[in-house]
Amino acid sequence: DAKTTQPPSMDCAEGRAANLPCNHSTISGNEYVYWYRQIHSQGPQYIIHGLKNNETNEMASLIITEDRKSSTLILPHATLRDTAVYYCIVLSGSARQLTFGSGTQLTVLP
């Protein structure tokens, strides 16, 4: 599975959009981009995933560049409860093993 690169930390003001970047320049054609987050003292939580097209659900939006070498997770109106470590993971459609990196610590500031 392709390796991902994320900034170690980011801050965001409450109520503003949080845009979390992820680089995955070695992604191959059958690999999906998954996002999970982990709030302190909890287990990771699935957020969203996509292959080529942009995706949106009740939690977030996922924007994947046309060349698929990078993506951005967007939390449209961040709240204090969105403070967490966000993990970007790339894996093939047949893979079942999530390989977590270090992720991005997002801190939402009041």
Partner 1 sequence: EAGVVQSPRYKIIEKKQPVAFWCNPISGHNTLYWYLQNLGQGPELLIRYENEEAVDDSQLPKDRFSAERLKGVDSTLKIQPAELGDSAVYLCASGLQGLSEQYFGPGTRLTVT
Binding site for partner 1 (CB under 8 A): 32, 34, 41-46, 49, 87, 91, 93, 95-103
Smallest gap from Cβ 86 to partner 1, in A, equals 11
**79 vs 102 by CB, closer to partner 1:** 102
**18 vs 35 by CB, closer to partner 1:** 35
- Torsion, Cα of 97, 98, 101, 103 (10° steps): 180
Distances (CA, A) of 88 to 7, 14, 71, 110: 11, 22, 9, 25
**14 vs 105 by CB, closer to partner 1:** 105
Smallest gap from Cβ 92 to partner 1, in A, equals 9
Smallest gap from Cβ 105 to partner 1, in A, equals 10
Burial 59-72 (b: 16+ CB within 10 A, else e): ebbbbbeeebebbb
